[in-house]
Amino acid sequence: MEKNTRSRKARIQKTNGTATVAAFKNSSNSAEGQIAANAQTPLEMRFIEAQTNLGASRQRLLRQILAEPHETFFLSSREMARRYGVDSATIVRTVQAMGYQKFADFAHDLRNHFVTQITPYTAMKAATQKNRSVADYIHQSIDQDLENLNALKTSLDVNKVVELVKQIHQTRRIVVVGIDFAASLAMSLAYGLVRLGCDAEAPTGSTGVVQNKVRIMTKKDLLVVISFGQGLRETVEAAQRARRRNVPTFGITDGDKTPIARFCDHYITASIARTSFIDSYVASVAAINAILVACAHTQPKRALELLAQTEREYSSGARWYQGEDSDQKTR
Amino acid sequence: MEKNTRSRKARIQKTNGTATVAAFKNSSNSAEGQIAANAQTPLEMRFIEAQTNLGASRQRLLRQILAEPHETFFLSSREMARRYGVDSATIVRTVQAMGYQKFADFAHDLRNHFVTQITPYTAMKAATQKNRSVADYIHQSIDQDLENLNALKTSLDVNKVVELVKQIHQTRRIVVVGIDFAASLAMSLAYGLVRLGCDAEAPTGSTGVVQNKVRIMTKKDLLVVISFGQGLRETVEAAQRARRRNVPTFGITDGDKTPIARFCDHYITASIARTSFIDSYVASVAAINAILVACAHTQPKRALELLAQTEREYSSGARWYQGEDSDQKTR
DNA sequence: AATTTCCTGCAATGATTGTTGCATTTTTGT
DNA sequence: ACAAAAATGCAACAATCATTGCAGGAAATT
């Protein structure tokens, strides 16, 4: 009996020690606001639903579990209890209070919750730190892209995008400002908006061009500025100037404390974190893509017409390559 | 006793039915070559290591388990046995033959193996197919981006990138051609190459400009063309013209049968698959980013020098915004 | 301050788990 | 074709699992 208990302890300790899926990045943002803000998994939905019926300690317990699913998704009720310093009965009764009949049902949802949170990069991070060949750097670069993109997925405030799109459809003209690397982002956003029937442009060229474009904007227009980190002076000043003249501004940047975030009426963030010297603009592109998709689907009929029209013009003219069989339609 | 057995069966069936992490995409490529080719997880390593000591049926069994970890990683030995129509003892002895002392150790490695294979999108795919609000489309757009990016991760031929980078460093001048949406891609690639000290440019403007640029290229130059699907005529013709004149060509496209893929000396593919009307260029951006990273790391010293130099010029001039505390260094 | 309500830990329950000996079948080597 | 070797299924084992009544304690309500 006594030996029995001891061996059980030993096994559980060993399990806790080795079965963890390697050193994960502990997200610094508070899990509370994150979960409350936008519930995406069935588990989170059930959690905020039953939140009122749950005591404070049970909420704290669940929050801990949901915040680090990568360390909890494979644990048994006993192991989970030991991990958070409670009895296994407490675990079972807590998940029952959430509405689950059996712990297995909760475990199932927890697995799915884990899957939505995890990215391959996060898992490989600790494992593959060799960095010896160029090939490793390439892999690492894509992994970083995946990580940034996944961060965008979980942190992107969809409402902000929807609001932006409403604004876009109401506004008269849209000017997108981006310099250097951000120039290609500005270009693609403006191009996409034009194809969707908006009067948008991304001025390129000398400093004066941008300044003049902004100068003739009014309240009825919209200025979109794209810059990251400390921000390029010209881009930030364009935002400031626009704001002074009551021109609506929307920013795309990579943090809440960047100049762009502070000086724009609204903004969204997309990480450009890099492993190598080169910034990763993948998440930014995804954000821009999301904006365009949202634009298209708020007026789907009009968007389809416009796109079909462009399609027709293209194929009637000689814009497509017509080598032999031309049955494809994508570009 | 009899009732006991029945209830166990019922439970296991229920578990197999509901605990699965939703309908996953079944990759059509044979698991054998995939695992044998490049073992990445400890589990795969142990598998190919003990492969000679394993019988045929046990190999087949393991291959099935490793090929669909998303459906096996949470199963017990008995459930796993039932899933593949064998006895639980067979499962245990098979994993023991691989070198694992306990089934729990194997389960641990299987979880990690699963994590490296899974992507968030793949998991959510079946779960969220509602598509009612604009917010859903936004989420779906990002999920599609993730899927495309993950496809790039698994399918990107790193050697091709390395070869391209070698060529880039040897060549005299690089011209990147991309039209419409691809223009922003071409722009960012050219810009990144310039920052790394290459003589690169992405000609914009009328048709004539591109044609003239290509006309003055020689064997010592490199033409990079970017176009997807059927391909824009102008881009394809640029590749054809260059090839006729023995100018090395490298393509970025989205399939092995596109004109770009057929007419270029070498090429890489990046999916632009879309859920909505708008093509997703995220994977392409990631591919370009990978090229730039590889470029930087084949000559890391030189790249660092160049980037530091640009940094210095930028901060000495008034390119950065200097609102108050300027301790940040990213852009 | 008193009482009700809620929550937690302990202990016990039956079900399920991983594991191994034994007889049988399948595969392998000659 | 035959013998040796390996693998498999069955049955049983102890250990661990999830689950629940019970009693004590914490928090909230009156």
Structural contact between residues A249 and A124, judged by C-beta atoms closer than 8 angstroms: no
Q: Provide mean pLDDT across the span B12-32.
A: 38
| Residue numbers of B between 178 and 197 with CB closer than 8 Å to A | 180-181, 183-185, 187-188, 191-192
**A307 CB near a chain B CB, below 8 Å?**
yes
Residue scoring higher pLDDT (A3 or A226): A226
Q: How many CA atoms lie within 13 A of A158 on its CB side?
A: 18
B115–A118 C-beta distance less than 8 A: yes
Neighbours of A150 (CB within 10 A): 25
The better pLDDT of the pair B288, B113 is held by B288
Out of A112, A158, A282, the one facing B135 most closely (by C-beta) is: A158
From residue B256, give the alpha-carbon distance in Å to each of A8, B31, B182, B226: 57, 22, 18, 14
- Is strand C less than 7 A from the beta carbon of A50? no
Between CA A266 and CA A313 the distance in angstroms is 36
Q: Is the pLDDT of residue B272 over 80?
A: yes
Say whether residue A21 is in contact with chain B using an 8 A CB cutoff.
Answer: yes
Which residues of A260-327 form beta strands (DSSP E)?
A: 266-269
d(CA B178, CA B29): 32
Give the model's pLDDT for residue A26. Answer: 39
Query: B329 CA to chain A: closest CA distance, Å?
Result: 7
User: A293 and B285: CB-CB below 8 Å?
Assistant: no
Of A153, A187, A254, the CB nearest to B183: A187
CA distance A245 to chain B (A): 19
Residues of chain A contacting residue B145, judged by C-beta atoms under 8 Å apart:
149, 285-286, 289
Residue B111 CA and nucleotide D18 C1' are separated, in Å, by: 22
From B47's Cα to the closest Cα of chain A, the distance in A is: 18
From the Cβ of B319, is strand C under 7 Å away?
no
Distance of CA A90 to the CA centre of its chain: 35
Partners of A141 in the β-ladder: none
**Cα–Cα distance between B25 and A260 in angstroms, integer?**
40
**Greater model confidence, B307 or B242:** B242
Q: Is the CB of B76 under 7 A from strand C?
A: yes
Cβ separation B138–A293 shorter than 8 A? yes
Closest nucleotide to A58, Cα to C1': C7
Q: Using pLDDT thresholds of 50, 70 and 90, give the confidence band for residue B318.
A: low
- List Cα–Cα distances, B323 to A214, A260, B196, B258, in angstroms: 20, 11, 29, 49
B57 touches strand D (CB under 7 A): yes
- Candidates B113, B131, B140, B142: best to mutate against A (most CBs of A within 10 A) is B142
Place of tokens 């002076």: A233
Q: What angle do CA B33, B36, B37 make, to 5 degrees?
A: 80
Considering all nucleic acid strands, name the nucleotide whose C1' atom is nearest to the C-alpha of residue B56.
C27
Contacts of A85 (CB under 8 A, 6+ apart): none
Q: How far is the alpha carbon of A227 from chain B, nearest alpha carbon, in Å?
A: 7
B242 token code pair:
């260059």
Higher pLDDT, B298 or A320: B298
User: Does residue B99 have a pLDDT over 90?
Assistant: no
**At A290, is the secondary structure helix, strand, or coil?**
helix
For chain B, say whether A238 makes contact (Cβ under 8 Å).
Answer: no
- Under DSSP, the state recorded for A275 is S
- Of the candidates A22, A111, A134, which has its C-beta nearest B298's C-beta? A134
Q: Which positions in strand D are less than 7 Å from the protein's CB atoms?
A: 6-11, 15-21, 28
Query: Is some CB atom of chain B closer than 8 A to the CB atom of A323?
Result: yes
Among the partner residues B104, B119, B319, nearest to A120 by beta-carbon distance: B119
Question: Do the Cβ atoms of B196 and B186 come closer than 8 Å?
Answer: no
- Say how many C-beta atoms besides its own lie within 10 A of residue B162's C-beta: 17
Which of A132, A289, A122, A145 shows the shortest CA–CA distance to B289? A145
The phi-psi region of residue B85 (left if phi > 0; otherwise alpha if psi is between -120 and 50; otherwise beta) is left
Query: Are residues B281 and A152, on separate chains, in Cβ contact within 8 Å?
Result: no
% chain B with pLDDT above 70: 76
Which of A44, A185, A276, A314 should we substitute to test contact with B (largest number of B Cβ atoms within 10 Å)? A276
**E strand spans, B85-219:** 174-178, 200-201
As a whole number of angstroms, the distance between CA A143 and CA A122 comes to: 8
Residue B321 in this model has a pLDDT that exceeds 70: no
Q: Please determine, for residue A300, whether its predicted confidence score (pLDDT) is greater than 70.
A: yes
Interval B9-31 mean pLDDT: 38
Give me the residues paired with residue A224 across strands.
A176, A250
Contact A142 B290 (CB under 8 A): yes
Mean pLDDT of A117-132: 58
Is A112 in contact with B127 (Cβ distance < 8 A)?
Answer: yes
For B16-56, strand residue ranges (E) read: none
Q: Compute the distance between CA of residue B216 and CA of residue B223 in angstroms, rounded to an integer.
A: 11
Taking only Cα atoms into account, the Rg of chain B, rounded to an integer number of angstroms, comes to 26
Q: Which residue has the higher pLDDT, A136 or B32?
A: A136
Q: From CA A238, how far away is CA A263, in angstroms rounded? A: 10
What percent of chain A lies above the pLDDT cut of 90?
Answer: 36
- Which residues of chain B (64-103) touch nucleic strand D at CB < 7 A? 85-90, 93-94, 97
- CA-CA distance, A174 to A189, in Å (whole number)? 10
Alpha-carbon gap, residue A95 to A100, rounded angstroms: 6
Domains and CATH numbers, chain B: 10-118 (no CATH), 121-146 (no CATH), 155-316 (3.40.50.10490)
Whether the CB of A94 is below 8 Å from some CB of chain B: the reply is: no
Answer yes or no: do A286 and B134 touch at CB < 8 A.
no
Q: Residue A264: what pLDDT?
A: 95
Residue A106 has pLDDT above 60, yes or no: yes
Q: Which nucleotides of C are covered by protein (CB under 7 A)?
A: 6-11, 15-21, 27-28
Q: Which is higher by pLDDT, B303 or B189?
A: B189
| C-alpha to C-alpha distance for B53 and B137, rounded to whole angstroms | 51
pLDDT above 50 for B5: no
Q: Are A202 and A177 in contact (CB under 8 A)?
A: yes
CA of B58 to C1' of D2 (A): 26
